[in-house]
């Protein structure tokens, strides 16, 4: 078929279906010479559309009528422009990849409280997007849909983000809900390659210094660190989290704010859980604020959520504010942009509920279930919050941090460990039946992690074992060295799914009991069985679980949560 006849057929098929053409992605400001600006149109329909002569209008508060009243530039789409079904048209500067229509070299669109409107030949609005709505209350409602994109934005040349629809052509009639910050993709799909539906990451598989490239940052990518060691990313060390080992820090050593967005398809129903570090004790005039959000986005600079109208959070978030007068953790409903609503507020007090804490939030439709503290993985433990969201939204997981400190020496950044995202993670270790408990120095492990205690060689510690089956002749303690992840081949697996991770290779730890410590007669067990002044006389890492014969359990076995001792 000749090119001429092909064009003729396309022209014949091109129909007036303006509603299927959307503003799909755009950049109106960048950190260089404003020479990377563009608008991408997308045909979300099933037929080609002739958009010749249509106008891409720029508008601001001075706008009074189509193409009238302001000093913003307007661009006319060239003749013979047919946008095929599922295809893109990129209008912008020559430096933009895949640009189709070059309309200038730089400063093509205004930077704040503006709108971009697509009009057909009759100057009827086909699509409209308002942006930086935090700066304007008088932008004409015909210039945007729903809520304008709220937060401030600049595409940083080193990271290249854009405002993009969460999926090509996705249009619910609400700009603030339909757009999020994602990696630039002019002329190609916004749909991010699918990641695993569930992310369960304790960050131990990544060496210290690894950048978490599954997050697209506005400035600096999150980094895996040892929180106990001073480094360029950790100016103020803190103890390890309850999970131990590495954690993630989100902080720009250059100062100011930073935002990051998971490179994953948007979701509506999801769960997020993690350990976070809550710092309390800033000096006069200093502050830090951060957010961890789901099904939403935020602005480039993560402007302060409190005391400012410029923060760009959308969706649901846990947001933390700490300054010289106190600290508060809030569960927030940001909707599609604006000041947001506080769903629940938790004052954070030094020595009481600061430091490493577990946070969790799960959204299903308009139902929001959240937890503060308690056992990791357990939706019924800790402070339980059950509330309703203001609207059904689509979005991704995001993080934002901003500091208000003198220099960077007093900054802590956003510290996160054991990230569970998407859906609840399966237990990493075989964990307890209610009949079995084991503690080390008064601490017992959680579903996803053992209780970790670090001591010096020769320093005494205590173990406490308890069974609710008092007086049974078969209660006993088994030292399992070490605990093995359930994903590894277990030594013993029972038909009902019970897993006993007995290491048959590593030599078991030798425990030395100080004089006068009598070993209880476990054949006549009582609750609790205590081992006090236990000592080791060499460096070792030892793990253990209590195993009980339990006639009421299938196969008569109850297995406790794990404990781990690090002797240095």
- pLDDT per position as a tens digit, 29-43: 999 889 999 999 999
Q: 548, 437 in Cβ contact below 8 A?
A: no
10 pLDDT above the threshold of 60? no
Rounded-to-integer distance, Cα 122 and Cα 404, Å: 50
Contacts of 264 (CB under 8 A, 6+ apart): 192, 194, 195, 214, 396, 397
CATH 2.60.40.1260 positions along the chain are 3-183
What is the structure's pLDDT at 545? 65
Residue with structure tokens 């769903």?
343
Cα dihedral value 129, 37, 105, 99, nearest 10: -100
Strands 563-567 and 451-455: parallel
> What residues have CB less than 8 Å from 467, skipping those under 6 apart?
435, 436, 437, 475, 525, 527, 546, 548, 550, 558
Which residues in 229-244 are b (16+ Cβ under 10 Å) and which e? eeeebbbeeeebbbbb
Residue ranges, comma separated, of all CATH 2.60.120.560 domains in the chain are 199-421
Distance CA 47, CA 529 (A): 75
C-alpha 61/C-alpha 78 separation (Å) is 28
What is this structure's pTM?
Answer: 0.77
Residue 376 pLDDT class (50, 70, 90 cuts)? confident
Q: Given 2.30.40.10, 2.60.120.560, 1.10.10.10, 1.20.1530.20, which CATH number is that of 199-421? A: 2.60.120.560
Q: Give me the chain's average pLDDT, please.
A: 82
Strands 21-27 and 38-43: antiparallel
Per CATH, the homologous superfamily of domain 3-183 is: Lamin Tail domain (2.60.40.1260)
Q: Give the CATH architecture of domain 436-567.
A: Sandwich (2.60)
* 443 contact partners, CB below 8 Å, separation of at least 6: 451, 453, 563
Q: What is the pLDDT of residue 485?
A: 42
Instruction: Report d(CA 14, CA 51) in Å as an integer.
Output: 9
Instruction: State the distance between the two ends of the chain, measured CA to CA, in whole angstroms.
Output: 78
d(CA 23, CA 451): 52
How far, in Å, CA of 540 to CA of 566, rounded?
Answer: 6
**Torsion region of 130: left, alpha or beta (phi above 0 gives left; psi -120 to 50 gives alpha):** beta
**Of 352 and 445, which is predicted with more confidence?**
352
Q: Which two tokens stand for residue 201?
A: 């990451």
What does the alpha-carbon distance between residue 117 and residue 144 come to, in Å, rounded to a whole number? 8
Residues 163 and 301: beta-carbon distance below 8 Å: no
pLDDT for res 516 = 30
User: What whole-number distance in Å separates Cα of residue 549 and Cα of residue 521?
Assistant: 15
- Bridge partners of 21, per DSSP, are 43
Write the pLDDT tens digit of every residue in 317-375: 999 999 999 999 999 999 999 989 999 999 999 999 999 999 999 999 999 999 999 98
pLDDT at 80: 96
């Amino acid at each position: 078929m000749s090119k001429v006849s092909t064009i003729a057929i396309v022209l014949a098929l091109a129909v007036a279906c303006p509603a299927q053409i959307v503003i799909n992605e755009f950049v109106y400001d960048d950190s260089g010479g404003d020479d990377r600006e563009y608008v991408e149109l997308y045909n979300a329909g099933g037929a080609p559309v002739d958009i010749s002569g249509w106008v891409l209008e720029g508008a601001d508060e001075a706008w009074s009528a189509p193409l009238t009243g302001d000093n913003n530039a307007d661009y006319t789409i060239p003749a013979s422009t047919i946008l095929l079904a599922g295809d893109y048209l990129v209008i912008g500067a020559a430096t933009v990849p895949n640009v189709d229509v070059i309309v200038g070299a730089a400063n093509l669109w205004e930077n704040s409280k503006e709108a971009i409107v697509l009009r057909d030949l009759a100057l009827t609005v086909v699509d409209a997007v308002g942006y930086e709505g935090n700066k304007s209350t008088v932008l004409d409602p015909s210039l945007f849909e729903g809520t304008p994109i709220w937060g401030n934005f600049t595409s940083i040349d080193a990271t290249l983000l854009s405002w993009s629809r969460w999926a090509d052509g996705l249009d619910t009639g609400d700009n603030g809900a339909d757009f999020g910050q994602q990696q630039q993709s002019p002329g190609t799909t916004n749909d991010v390659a699918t990641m695993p539906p569930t992310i369960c990451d304790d960050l131990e598989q990544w060496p210290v210094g690894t950048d978490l490239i599954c997050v697209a940052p506005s400035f600096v990518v999150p980094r895996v660190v040892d929180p106990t060691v001073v480094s360029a990313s950790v100016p103020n060390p803190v103890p390890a989290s309850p999970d131990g080992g590495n954690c993630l820090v989100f902080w720009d050593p250059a100062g100011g704010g930073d935002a990051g967005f998971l490179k994953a398809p948007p979701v509506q129903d999801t769960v997020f859980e993690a350990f976070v570090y809550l710092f309390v004790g800033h000096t006069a005039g200093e502050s830090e604020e951060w957010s961890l959000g789901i099904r939403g986005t935020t602005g480039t600079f993560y402007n302060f959520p409190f005391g400012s109208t410029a923060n760009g959070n959308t969706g649901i978030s846990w947001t933390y504010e700490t300054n010289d007068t106190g600290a508060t953790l809030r569960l927030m409903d940001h909707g599609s942009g604006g000041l947001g609503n506080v769903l629940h507020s938790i004052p954070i007090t030094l020595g009481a509920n600061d430091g490493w804490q577990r946070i969790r939030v799960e959204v299903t439709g308009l139902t929001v279930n959240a937890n503060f503290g308690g056992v990791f993985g357990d939706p019924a433990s800790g402070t339980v919050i059950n509330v309703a969201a203001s609207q059904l939204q689509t979005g991704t997981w995001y993080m934002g941090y901003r500091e208000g400190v003198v220099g960077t020496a007093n900054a802590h950044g956003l510290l996160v460990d054991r990230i569970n995202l998407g859906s609840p993670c399966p237990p990493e270790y075989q964990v307890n039946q209610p009949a079995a408990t084991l503690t080390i120095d008064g601490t017992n492990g959680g579903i996803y992690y053992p209780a970790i205690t670090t001591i010096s060689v020769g320093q005494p510690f205590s173990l406490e074992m308890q069974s609710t089956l008092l007086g049974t002749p078969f209660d006993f303690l088994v030292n399992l060295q070490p605990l093995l992840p359930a994903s590894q081949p277990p030594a013993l697996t029972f038909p009902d799914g019970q897993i006993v991770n007995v290491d048959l290779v590593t030599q078991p730890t030798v425990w030395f009991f100080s004089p006068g410590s009598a070993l209880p007669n476990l054949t006549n067990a009582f609750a609790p069985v205590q081992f006090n002044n236990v000592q080791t006389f060499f460096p070792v890492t030892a793990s253990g679980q209590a195993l009980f014969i339990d006639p009421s359990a299938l196969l008569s076995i109850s297995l406790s949560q794990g404990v781990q001792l690090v002797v240095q």
